[in-house]
Amino acid sequence: MPCTSKEQPISEPRINDRIRVPEVRLVGPKGEQIGVVSVAKALHLAREADLDLVEVAPHSKPPVAKLMDYGKFKYEAAQKAREARRNQTNAQLKEIRFRLKIDSHDYETKKGHVLRFLKSGDKVKVMIMFRGREQSRPEFGYKLLMKLAEELKEYATIEFKPLQDGRNMTMVLAPIRTKAEIKAEAERAAKREAKAAEVEADAEKTTTDAEKTN
């Protein structure tokens, strides 16, 4: 159902009779290019389709407008915004501590912990704790943290570069994939497995029925 101009806050895109330009480059409801038409014709097409005319690129020449259900569009946009906020809330900041003089076995073990957190969609604060004179050689801590970031670059980006604060040097890694993406992938995998199991069960039933017939 088309929106009225009275429902249109100034901060939102101009819609319907709020669009004051003489012509627009019109895009259809499915993204199809209709071409440059007068606003009067665009409004006529919107009314015929029971849709709104929404100005989506006001600074283009001519401005770009799209035929859409603006109420539905606003509702879906609000849902996406809430989902994004929920994902940010759910993401946790984990912490893993390294010693500067760490042996290869311990390094790989701790790197595995960092990787597990990243794969779960959580950020990781990696901390190096300096002992005694180690504080005077922060470059070694920096090299260790950057080595870790390089080895995990497939899964993470550096959100905060290594920074020394007294006895500690910290770096924050952020996962490339969000919790929502990881959850969606897991759900898709579960559906594929369920479908495969269903197909296998149907095949076994067909075989059993055929054996009984014979």
- pLDDT tens for 162-193 read 998 888 999 999 998 766 666 676 677 777 77
> How many structural domains is the chain composed of?
2
Q: Identity (one letter) of the amino acid at 132?
A: G
Answer whether residue 6 shows pLDDT above 50: no
Same domain for 167 and 130, yes or no, is yes
pLDDT band, very low/low/confident/very high, at 74 (cuts 50, 70, 90) = confident
Which range marks the domain in which residue 156 is found?
90-175
- Residue 12 maps to which CATH number? 3.10.20.80
Instruction: Answer whether 158's CB lies under 8 Å from 149's CB.
Output: yes
How far apart, in whole angstroms, are the C-alpha atoms of residue 92 and residue 119?
A: 12
Same domain for 109 and 167, yes or no, is yes
Cα-only R_g, the chain: 28
Range in 8-12, 60-64, 65-69, 96-100 with the lowest mean pLDDT: 8-12
Q: Tell me how far apart the terminal alpha carbons of the chain are, to the nearest angstrom.
A: 61
Name which of 164, 165, 166, 148 is nearest 156 in CA terms: 148
In a domain, 118, yes or no: yes
Instruction: Answer whether 2's CB lies under 8 Å from 47's CB.
Output: yes
Average confidence (pLDDT) over 99-110: 94
What pLDDT, on the 0 to 100 scale, is given for residue 188?
75
Name which of 55, 61, 78 is nearest 46 in CA terms: 55
Phi, psi at 129, each rounded to 5°:
-105, 115
Peptide bond into 138 cis (omega under 30): no
pLDDT band, very low/low/confident/very high, at 75 (cuts 50, 70, 90) = confident
In a domain, 191, yes or no: no
The two tokens of residue 103 are 């042996």
In a domain, 100, yes or no: yes
Answer whether residue 7 shows pLDDT above 70: no
pLDDT band, very low/low/confident/very high, at 2 (cuts 50, 70, 90) = low
Same domain for 169 and 106, yes or no, is yes
